[in-house]
Structure 1
Amino acid sequence: MNRIDRVTAILIQLQSKRVVKAQEIADRFNISLRTVYRDVKALDEAGVPVIGEAGVGYSIMEGYRLPPVMFTREEATAFLTAEKLVEKLTDVSTRKNYSTAMLKVKAVLRLTEKDYLEAMEQHIEVIENQYVPKRSNDTIHLQQVLQSIASKKVLQLDYFANHNQQQSNRDVEPVGIYYLGENWYMVAYCRLRKDYRTFKFGSISRLTVMDVHFDKQHPSLKSFLNKVSKEKNLQTVVLLIDKNVLPYFGDQKYYNGFVSQREADANTIEMTFLTGSLIGFARWFLLFGDHAIIKSPQALMDEVKVALASISKKVNTAN
């Protein structure tokens, strides 16, 4: 990227947030802090009202706006790809808002880019997993939850808990939402349990934004998820697997904590997983165990032996 393009991109970045730290700019463009200072000075000399405060960062004077932005072809294609994901993975309100935003993006494109997007649209699709029960995202109310977070309003839920098969009514203070394994989840402080809980959107039968504000300062969603991950006491599993069975794993490897893989030799792949349940992992391992070797841990080998002994006993009893 040449300097003119970089300085323009820095200006756009400065307009995207109230305050931008010099290190953020340096990290984004892989440049030194000295270069950041020179580029920001160039903006200032060009008449852009940049305000810099030592130890805080840079901001642009309120009211200053860059003229309409022209998106590159690659950026516009990224928006189009995201639109396909939004159509399949979110709710009606989010789809509607994103569709409106896309119209604004397309409105500032050059004619050649508009034609390009129209041609590309038929070449991008998001296919639902045929082995996962089809579900409707139309009632998950993502926007309601996000608006509740922004306004710090309490949500009232009718929630069905799968672990005890009980329906309950909860007043919660939402922290954030995340998508995992074909489902949306909400992390919230439950006033009934007086602790943080994770709620699966598919188990919420009714959601109401109450006219009740909460003042509690909750931790960020990222810090909460990191804390939960550590508390799960995940264990590392390393397997040696025949290459010829890998195509049959599909998405199952991700559901079982897949982390990475490398070639061990011409016919074998070493795969690493993180799992919170060795018993559950052992059951999955039995599906392809005749084409794999457990490298570690020993506890997984023991679980597989217990399962095999139980199966053998039942088979022998049946005979």
Structure 2
Amino acid sequence: MNDHYLKKLDRVTAILTQLQSKSVVRAQDLAEKFDVSIRTIYRDVKTLENAGIPIVGEAGNGYSLMEGYKLPPVMFTKDEVLSFITAEKLMQKFSHQSLGDHYQTAMEKVRSVLKYSDKNLIQNIEKQIDVFNFHTQPEDSLKNVIPIILDSIADKTQLTIEYQTVDARVSTRTIETVGVFFEFNFWYIMAYCTLRNDFRQFRIDRILKISKTQNPFLQEYGQVNDYRKKSHNQKEKAKLLVDKKIMSHLVNSKRYYGLIEEVETSEGVELTFETEWINDGFPRWLITFADYATVLEPERLRTRLNELLTKMTERHQ
């Protein structure tokens, strides 16, 4: 069998896997995924139909497997099995506890269809992989919160939450959830808040009560990342000159605090930010490496930094 037919066989098998895992698969998406023409995908689908696979649909509208048709369990490659082990370790450390049981059940189903040799591979190697989390996991008052949130997204129904802010104030909100995201060791909801008539993010470990309502919402909100990029406060430009030897420690945090430009000079690295936290969050972050940085602008950032440093010195004298 020549290389052309081997590639075709791999592609046709992968298309069958896509049909098993999704309700509808578009030829255009398959063509982009496998870097071939749409006409090639049409021929591949015809190959599956000739092999007796009952495919419903047609070119231009998408394809799906006939309802009720069952296929033998999917077989996994050795590399895929090893990736499952690593993913399981990551999920154990970084997934929200309300997802843990569901993921464990899903992994048990995956393990059940593995070959005997692959099951032995997992047993032999899973103890050789571990993930050490630098941060402690936050304690949530609710244990099943994320599945409730995901249900509300799927059903497009409003949620009612009792939420505690950082200064311990508690309020009741009705929200329309856009999505959830994990950032800096915390899970957040991005949602439209009917009380504020605007989009807000809520830290999940600060939710005291949550319940689904019967109230539907019809608005299509798009993707969660579309809203995380938006700011509700005016941003201000800040510029720092930072010693090169500290740069490796700022890889992730500099993006979070609004980095827009990075220029290496003979004196160090000039970092330019656009931030809405110029009075509090930004200078407090700057304190963590202030002995390696110089504030170039604005002047009030330098003043605020000195105020914080003076308070720290007075408190610890």
Q: TM-score, normalised by structure 2?
A: 0.78
Instruction: Give the match for residue 117 of structure 2.
Output: 112
- One-letter code aligned to 1:96: D
Looking at structure 2, the residues matched to 217 and 12 of structure 1 have their Cα atoms a distance apart, in angstroms, of 33
What residue is the counterpart of 1:230 in the other structure? 230
After superposition, what is the alpha-carbon deviation per residue over 1:153-212, rounded to whole angstroms, capped at 9, x for unaligned?
44332211236x421123333332211121111133434444443221111112233xx4
Asked if residue 27 in structure 1 is aligned to residue 32 in structure 2, the reply is yes
CA 1:44/1:134 → structure 2, altered by over 3 Å: closer, same or farther?
Answer: closer
Distance change (3 Å), C-alpha of 1:313 and 1:289: closer
Percent identity over paired residues: 37
**Mapped contact 2:142–2:207 kept (Cα < 8 A):** no
Distance in 1 of aligned mates of 2:74 and 2:293: 54
Deviating more after overlay: 10-19 vs 80-89: 80-89
The equivalent of 1:122 in structure 2 is: 127
Structure 1 Cα separation of the partners of residues 157 and 132 of structure 2? 36
Shift of the 156–289 alpha-carbon distance from structure 1 to 2, 3 Å rule, reads: closer
Question: Secondary structure at the residue paired with 1:28?
Answer: helix
Q: Aligned match of 1:147 in 137, 146, 151? A: 151
Letter of the 1:230 counterpart = K
Aligned length: 305
8 Å contact from structure 2 (residues 163, 208) kept in 1 = yes
In the alignment, which residue of structure 1 is the partner of 2:205?
A: 202
Q: Is the 8 A contact 1:239 1:272 kept in 2?
A: yes
Aligned partners of 2:82 and 2:66: how far apart in 1?
Answer: 32
Distance 1:38 1:104 in 2: 33
Gaps of 5+ in 2: 1-5
Deviation at 1:268, TM superposition (A): 6.2
Report what 2:219 is aligned to.
218
Q: Is the 8 A contact 2:158 2:216 kept in 1?
A: no
Contact 1:235–1:276 (CA under 8 A) maintained in structure 2: yes
Question: Over aligned residue pairs, what C-alpha RMSD do you find?
Answer: 3.7
Cα deviation per residue 1:257-276 (whole Å; 9 max; x = unaligned)? Answer: 468979x5899667676644
Report the residue type matching 1:94 in the other structure.
L
* Corresponding residue of 1:9: 14
1:55 equivalent to 2:54? Answer no
- Segments of 5+ residues of structure 1 without an aligned counterpart are none
Q: TM-score, normalised by structure 1?
A: 0.77
